[in-house]
Amino acid sequence: MSSSSHLEQHGSYIIHMDKSAIPAPFLNHDSWYASTLASLSNQYGNAPIHLYTYKHVLDGFSAVLSKSHLDQLVTIPGHIATYPEQFGQLHTTHTSKFLGLKNHAGLWPAGSFGDDMIIGIIDSGIWPESESFNDHGMPPVPSRWRGNCERGTEFNSSNCNRKLIGARSFSKAIKQLNLTISMPGDYDSPRDFFGHGTHTSSTAAGSRVENVDYFGYAKGTATGVAPLARLAMYKVLFLNDTLEAAASDTLAGMDQAIEDGVDLMSLSLGFQELTFADNPIAVGSFAAMEKGIFVSCSAANDGPESYTIQNGAPWITTVGAGTVDRSFLASVKFSNGVVTITGKSFYPEDLLVSGVSLYHGHDNASKNCENNSLDSNDVSMKIVFCSFNNKTKVDDQMEEVYRSGAKGAIFATDSAQFLFPQDFYMPFVAISPIDGGKVEEYLTTSLEASVDIKFQITKLGTKPAPQVADFSSRGPSKRAPWVLKPDILAPGVDILAAWVPNRREVPIGDDYLFTDYTLSSGTSMASPHVVGVAALLKSAHRDWSSAAIRSAMMTTADVIDNANGQILDLANGTSGTPLDFGSGHINPNKALDPGLVYEIKVEDYVNFLCALNYTSQQIKVITRRSNYRCDQANLDLNYPSFIVILNNTNTTRYVFKRMLTNVVDSQSVYRAAIWAPSGMKVVVEPMTLTFGSKYSKAGFTMEVEIDLSGYRAKTDYIGNYGYLSWYEVDGKHVVRSPIVSAFAI
């Protein structure tokens, strides 16, 4: 807000209070906080504005305050800390088949398709009329549910049903910060304007919908990962100039989700952080974890650089994005009838391109499609062939074709994998440089070159898949590098899911098309896949903790792709590492029966914070615990993965201590198997673990020694990794954990 000589600058703040310091006259904390705000004076007469009182995620409230209010607040007994408002950004159905989910075997029937599980989605709202949220055949809402369906702009209680059982909106903070929501910017209600929340919700738990497609691509039946699970939407993201979430609103949404009784949460957004104490998602998810709520979060889209992970708190399951075995193509046939090639395309119209002239420039074909290289008179009503040119980006070539007024284009490029549906706003086809060479050879022998193009082709079984998406953020975590992040990889590229039908989605020349279902990409799309799998696992194993669910997913994840090779990094075409994909790509059916799990207690996380040298104030902000004594500070969490943070010496040695828990109804014996690269020595003691009845435990130590001598640069060793696998003797279970090295920054 503006300031002047008679008006102080105001801002929104999150205030942490010590609940044990409540004065005797107050009957509850809400009245104490209200009285505290009322007591704050201001020489200009501007009163504080109360936003939210929090019940679960933190002890305290949020409010709009002036500088003089803040100065007074810190002197009030019971005040712990105040953090200024911050803003987070968002980070998208064949995937159920790609994940191996089947109607009559494996995790789907074992987890009752997610029945009775309630998933809270913290996002941009929901479009309740979408067929993905129909409640046909669903039983009554669980009696333990305490939430409701709020009324608001173009939204009322009748929009909820037995699938979408709750919908709320949290916008107080973003409104007070002069970002007032007004049409057509967004709906001041749980209704989704942008589409992101509708997409993530239907991915996690959408109902089965037949005959779904994206303008002729990806035709089939759409279904969420946990199709019988219930959904509750907590809208905290609002579209202004950008889609943003205020920290105060996000905490309020998470707080309400806990109060309402969700079993799981998924957040596909992130905040910048200096510590976990100033990150609203880290703070809110700690409270959720304490109450047995599984929390899945997107890893962010800042890859492929290292140390770009967000949502890296160890009590959060952090998810990276991978490709699936499905590609979208166009077939190009040339007039000689001999050369036929396929290339990537999402052009959304069943356009008949038959016998259309092919243009390839004049004197210097290598400069074809560079800026201002095409003459409108030459290319009108023709398909332009743009030669491979490593000096000109393919999107710049696309802009030149559009400027010239050509009918469409074929691009020879090595960047086709980085193109998204919205890039194909004209009849465009992206082919490989090798196929581009075939086209050039054809052009040299043809006087009247022409092409036929067939769009809307979907190919399944593409290999290799999965690959790590180039945009997916990479580890280690800047804030806690001693825990390997991301935890796991899940589908996050060209995911088909529900969308808002009244938003202009696909550009076609100067016009736009609308759609009920769209293809979207991001770690935003990966997180709801994992929360859906977690809902199935929680339904099948009601006594499993969030740590056990995460462990089951991690230790059974796939590290081999569908071409029987190592999972590749799409950014450079080379083998990925656990810094890219964590423990591997999620395999739901294997996670149903992991054999052993790594459990983590709440106190272990607190001791981890102590080892990070967090102050007592920061620990109190995150845990809401007063006077916690850090007598057992420990960076070595009982985590299902291992990371060695290297120093500047030639040798680094670290000893890990772990405890495994048996989760099957039988006795068992496991033996360790180690695979380690050159320069990494791994010793496990003991090499054999024996388990008695269900929930019996056995511990081991693992010493890892890294020898950096012989490497030209220490950075050459970053990402080198091995595996520790526990094989069940005379049994089927294999419990695998990655061991990776990295330098701290």
Give me the residue spans of the domains in the chain: 10-84, 89-325+466-474+507-539+560-576, 326-458, 637-743
Question: Among 188-192, 220-224, 444-448, whose mean pLDDT is lowest?
Answer: 444-448
C-alpha 254/C-alpha 316 separation (Å) is 14
573: left (phi over 0), alpha (psi -120 to 50) or beta: left
C-alpha 359/C-alpha 406 separation (Å) is 9
R_g of the chain, CA atoms, integer Å: 28
Catalytic residue among 124, 296, 473, 524: 524
DSSP H or E segment with residue 440: helix 433-445
Residue whose C-alpha is closest to residue 667's, from 704, 641, 696: 696
CATH class of 637-743: mainly beta
Per-residue pLDDT, averaged over 329-354, amounts to 88
C-alpha 459/C-alpha 745 separation (Å) is 43
Span 124-133, pLDDT tens digits: 999 999 999 9
CATH class of 89-325+466-474+507-539+560-576: alpha beta
Question: Among 297-301, 318-322, 351-355, 471-475, whose mean pLDDT is lowest?
Answer: 351-355
Instruction: Check residue 167 and give its pLDDT.
Output: 98
Instruction: Check residue 361 and give its pLDDT.
Output: 74
Per-residue pLDDT, averaged over 20-49, amounts to 84
Tell me the HSE value of 642 on the side-chain side, using a 13 A CA sphere: 27
C-alpha 26/C-alpha 20 separation (Å) is 12
Mean of per-residue pLDDT scores for the chain: 91
Instruction: Check residue 505 and give its pLDDT.
Output: 75
pLDDT band at 138 (very low <50, low <70, confident <90, very high): very high
C-alpha 323/C-alpha 407 separation (Å) is 31
Structure tokens at 60: 């305290």
C-alpha 679/C-alpha 705 separation (Å) is 8
Residue 472 has pLDDT above 50, yes or no: yes
Name the residue with tokens 């039908």.
501
DSSP codes of every residue in 11-79: EEEEEEE-GGG--TT-SSHHHHHHHHHHT---TT-PPPEEEEEESSS-SEEEEEEEHHHHHHHTTSTTE
Residue 180 has pLDDT above 60, yes or no: no
Residue 454 has pLDDT above 90, yes or no: yes
Residue 2 has pLDDT above 70, yes or no: no
SS3 category, 3: coil
Span 285-333, pLDDT tens digits: 999 999 999 999 999 999 999 999 999 999 999 999 999 999 999 999 9
Instruction: Check residue 728 and give its pLDDT.
Output: 97
Tell me the residue type at 447. L
pLDDT band at 713 (very low <50, low <70, confident <90, very high): low
Instruction: Check residue 175 and give its pLDDT.
Output: 86
pLDDT band at 27 (very low <50, low <70, confident <90, very high): confident
pLDDT band at 404 (very low <50, low <70, confident <90, very high): very high
C-alpha 240/C-alpha 185 separation (Å) is 6
In the residue annotation, 477 being an active-site residue is answered as: no
Peptide bond into 25 cis (omega under 30): no
C-alpha 296/C-alpha 299 separation (Å) is 10
Maximum distance among all Cα pairs of the chain, rounded to whole angstroms: 94
Cβ(277)–Cβ(621) below 8 Å:
yes
Cβ(283)–Cβ(622) below 8 Å:
yes
Residue 378 has pLDDT above 70, yes or no: yes
Span 602-657, pLDDT tens digits: 999 999 999 999 999 999 999 999 888 898 999 999 999 999 998 766 678 899 99
Residue 1 has pLDDT above 50, yes or no: no
Structure tokens at 626: 């007063």
In the residue annotation, 123 being an active-site residue is answered as: yes
Per-residue pLDDT, averaged over 26-49, amounts to 84
DSSP 8-state assignment for residue 109: H
The residues, any chain, with a CB within 8 Å of residue 395's CB and separated by 6 or more, are 419, 423
Per-residue pLDDT, averaged over 89-101, amounts to 78
C-alpha 588/C-alpha 536 separation (Å) is 9
Per-residue pLDDT, averaged over 2-13, amounts to 58
pLDDT band at 176 (very low <50, low <70, confident <90, very high): confident
> Helix, strand, coil: what percent of the chain each, to 5?
25, 30, 45
Cβ(160)–Cβ(167) below 8 Å:
yes
Structure tokens at 595: 């054999």
Per-residue pLDDT, averaged over 331-344, amounts to 86
Q: Kindly give the residue spans of alpha helices, DSSP state H, lying in 577-711.
A: 578-581, 588-591, 602-611, 616-623
pTM of this structure = 0.94
Residue 727 has pLDDT above 50, yes or no: yes
Residue 74 has pLDDT above 60, yes or no: yes
In the residue annotation, 725 being an active-site residue is answered as: no
C-alpha 160/C-alpha 739 separation (Å) is 46
Q: Classify domain 326-458 by CATH number.
A: 3.50.30.30
Tell me the HSE value of 32 on the side-chain side, using a 13 A CA sphere: 23
Span 231-274, pLDDT tens digits: 999 999 998 777 789 999 999 999 999 999 999 999 999 998 88
* Phi and psi at residue 287, to the nearest 5°: -65, -40
* Phi and psi at residue 558, to the nearest 5°: -85, 135
C-alpha 88/C-alpha 83 separation (Å) is 15
Instruction: Check residue 352 and give its pLDDT.
Output: 80
DSSP H or E segment with residue 437: helix 433-445
Per-residue pLDDT, averaged over 399-412, amounts to 94
Per-residue pLDDT, averaged over 652-667, amounts to 95
Instruction: Check residue 506 and give its pLDDT.
Output: 78
Residue 46 has pLDDT above 90, yes or no: no
Instruction: Check residue 365 and give its pLDDT.
Output: 52
Per-residue pLDDT, averaged over 531-556, amounts to 98
Per-residue pLDDT, averaged over 398-411, amounts to 94
SS3 category, 187: coil
Per-residue pLDDT, averaged over 706-732, amounts to 80
The residues, any chain, with a CB within 8 Å of residue 544's CB and separated by 6 or more, are 537, 538, 552, 597, 663
Per-residue pLDDT, averaged over 516-543, amounts to 97
Structure tokens at 545: 């903790």
* Domain 10-84 sits in CATH 3.30.70.80: yes
Residue 715 has pLDDT above 70, yes or no: no
Structure tokens at 618: 């920061």
Catalytic residue among 59, 123, 192, 325: 123
Give the rounded percent of residues in the chain with a pLDDT score beyond 70. 94
Per-residue pLDDT, averaged over 198-203, amounts to 97
One fold for 89-325+466-474+507-539+560-576 and 326-458: no
